[in-house]
Structures are given as structure tokens and as C-alpha cells.
Amino acid sequence: MFRLKFTEMPGNPEMINREFIGNPIDEFIEVYERFTSFYAIKHLIADDELHKRPLTPKKNRVCRFCGAVYSTVERFKSKAHLLPELIGNKNLLSDFECDKCNSLFGRYENDLANFLGASRAFHISNAKSGHLKFKSPDKTFIVKKDDEVSTDEAKLRVESHQEENNHFTLDAENKKVTFHTIRPSYNPHNVYKAFLKIGLSVLPDTCITDYKIAFAILQSARKNEEADNPLFKLNLYQHPGPAFPSPMVILFEKKQKTDAVPTHIVCLMFHNYTYQLTLPFNEQDKWMFDGKKIVTVPNMPPFIDKHFASKFGIPKGNRLNFNFDELKRNEKHDITCTFEDYTDTRLQE
């Protein structure tokens, strides 16, 4: 993983300079160089103590998403999160999300939770806390904390009922076990909106007015007619080995306004995933869409250090299209875990 380096700004101890440092993986050097030739870090938010900040008093709040202000009918009562709790965010709260929008986004996040499916239950934090139990829609595959261990011990119990389901494949030579399960039903368009909401939440105030269309998409119940529009597709990397310790979002901004690439790219890292989201329809990008220019969305590299990858394995990339406003049912979901060793516990007595 890349590391964050915090250094005090010379002569200004109030300001902290953040550098994102690491060595790109050989296989991704070209992608890395091309991406960083277009983009620089504009803003970085990680779920750690350093990023806790005081919230605006409720009476002074304005909703970034619908424009609501504090009133007798809108009291900003809900504890709104900057990044969803379900991806592991504990500390980052939002002071610009009204109750009405919070409940709308909660619905999108239900779809995101279903899309992530069993992978959340497999995560180390859940193995420790046991807050979450995953049960496949057909109830034959269950992941939960092992009841017989203490709360701090990270131990999961995976149950497979009905043998014909073939819930796992063991690759002993490569020390891998792949679990085969299905995701609970989800609406892909709502999953996209859950990601878009994260992206729009990390924008600095000064950029908000440039994204009127994106904010409207977030609120709209309308179907998206352009299923193939690359602006709505996400790239995903999954890396083997330990997960990111806590969620982090990086907002990248293009260096040259004259480049025919979208102004902002959002990088979201949590668990063993890195998602690349394009913030669509920035006002400042209008000139690019004149029908003559070729607009490209440069691929972002995974921010996994090459030493980490040589120890645990190379991240795998996927392209995801959430541009379907229909319920996805019984979608297959494979999760591969690596292991060090195995023991036949029946022989230990």
C-alpha cells in the first residue's frame, strides 16, 4: 500500500502537508505515469483521527445535495456519514446532508451493501467484532463470527449447507480457497448512486456549483438512458493480502484545464478494493463535448506498493457497468482467500 506522509509546513505549524508515497507495481507503471501526467491530488480524506473535524452547528447547516436549510421541518437530526458506515467508516461525519437526503442515500447504500455481499462479512473487522452475519439468499451459505471465541479474536465460521451447491474450491498448491456464493438482489443504478454520493461528498465547497447535473442525477428517480456512457463506468482493483486499515478517498483534479479528460476522478479505497469513479458533467468540461474532440477517461493505477504486491500478489482489475435500472437477482459472487497452512483438527486431541 502507498503510505501517507505528514509533514509540517515550514514556518506554518498549523498546516500539515500530506504526501502520498509508494512505488508503483511494475505492471502498472505505464498506467501510473499516464494518470499522474493528467492528474494531481486535490483532496484526501481518510477515516483516521487526523481527519476528525468540528461540525457546523445544526442551526447553520445547509444541505449540499438539495439546498435545504435548518428549519422547523428540517432539523438535521440524523447522524450523516461522509462515507458509508458499511465500508468501515467510523469517524467521518457530514454536516451538509439533511435528513431527507440521508434517508434517500440510505436506500442507495442498501443496494451497495447487497452488491458487496459476503465480502463485508469476510472482512477482518467483522471477524473481530461479529457485527455482521451473511446469509446467502437461498440460506445455504452463512458467514458469521465463531461463537466459541472471545470478541477480540478474529475467527469466522463459514457454513455450507446442501453439498450440491459446491460452495468452495480448494487450491492447495497455491494455498487459496475460493468461496462460491450469490449476492443478495441489488439495483445497479442505486449502487452507482451510492458511489456518486461519496464522490460529491468529498468535493471542496468551491467546486459544487460545477456539478449541478451530477447532483440532479443523484436525486432523480429517472432511468439512465445511456447504458454505454464510459462516464458512468467504474474501474475496480482487488488486491490480495491484508485489507486497507480504514477507508480513504482521494479526489484527483486535472492539472491542465485544456486536457480533454474529466476534471475530477475519485479514488475510493476500502477492504481489499480500490474503485475509480469519474465525476460526470462538470460545467468546466462542457467544451470537450463538442462532437469533435475525443474525451478519454485515463485509467487510475492501484495505489498498492510494489513490495506489498510482490509479497501478496498483483491486484486484478475489472471494469464495472452499473448502468442498468433493473434488479439483479442471484448474481454469482466468488471470494478468494489465501491461507498459510491447514490442519486436520480431528486428529488433534
Question: By the criterion CB under 5 A, which residues form the site for Zn ion?
Answer: 63, 65-66, 68, 98, 101
Instruction: Work out how close the CB of 332 gets to Zn ion at its nearest, in angstroms, rounded to a whole number.
Output: 37
* Whole-angstrom distance, CA of residue 135 vs CA of residue 317: 27
Asked whether the beta carbons of 160 and 152 are under 8 A apart, the reply is no
Under DSSP, the state recorded for 138 is T
SS3 call for 319: strand
Instruction: Work out how close the CB of 98 gets to Zn ion at its nearest, in angstroms, rounded to a whole number.
Output: 3
Instruction: Work out how close the CB of 199 gets to Zn ion at its nearest, in angstroms, rounded to a whole number.
Output: 17
Under DSSP, the state recorded for 241 is S
Asked whether the beta carbons of 282 and 5 are under 8 A apart, the reply is no
Half-sphere exposure in the Cβ direction for 159 (13 Å, CA): 14
Instruction: Work out how close the CB of 113 gets to Zn ion at its nearest, in angstroms, rounded to a whole number.
Output: 22
Instruction: Work out how close the CB of 281 gets to Zn ion at its nearest, in angstroms, rounded to a whole number.
Output: 20
Which is nearer to Zn ion, 101 or 156 (by Cβ)? 101
Q: Residue 41 is inside which H or E element, if any?
A: strand 39-46
Instruction: Work out how close the CB of 84 gets to Zn ion at its nearest, in angstroms, rounded to a whole number.
Output: 17
Helices and strands, number each (H, E), in the chain: 7, 14
Instruction: Work out how close the CB of 82 gets to Zn ion at its nearest, in angstroms, rounded to a whole number.
Output: 15
* Whole-angstrom distance, CA of residue 76 vs CA of residue 80: 9
Bridge partners of residue 69, in order along the sequence: 62
* Whole-angstrom distance, CA of residue 178 vs CA of residue 226: 35
* Whole-angstrom distance, CA of residue 109 vs CA of residue 119: 15
Which is nearer to Zn ion, 35 or 65 (by Cβ)? 65
Asked whether the beta carbons of 335 and 178 are under 8 A apart, the reply is yes
Instruction: Work out how close the CB of 91 gets to Zn ion at its nearest, in angstroms, rounded to a whole number.
Output: 22
Which is nearer to Zn ion, 182 or 200 (by Cβ)? 200
Which is nearer to Zn ion, 102 or 276 (by Cβ)? 102
Which is nearer to Zn ion, 101 or 200 (by Cβ)? 101
Which is nearer to Zn ion, 196 or 304 (by Cβ)? 196
Sequence letter at residue 47: D
Which is nearer to Zn ion, 65 or 192 (by Cβ)? 65
SS3 call for 102: helix
Bridge partners of residue 171, in order along the sequence: 176
Which is nearer to Zn ion, 68 or 248 (by Cβ)? 68
Q: What is the dihedral of CA 185, 219, 227, 273, to 10 degrees?
A: -60
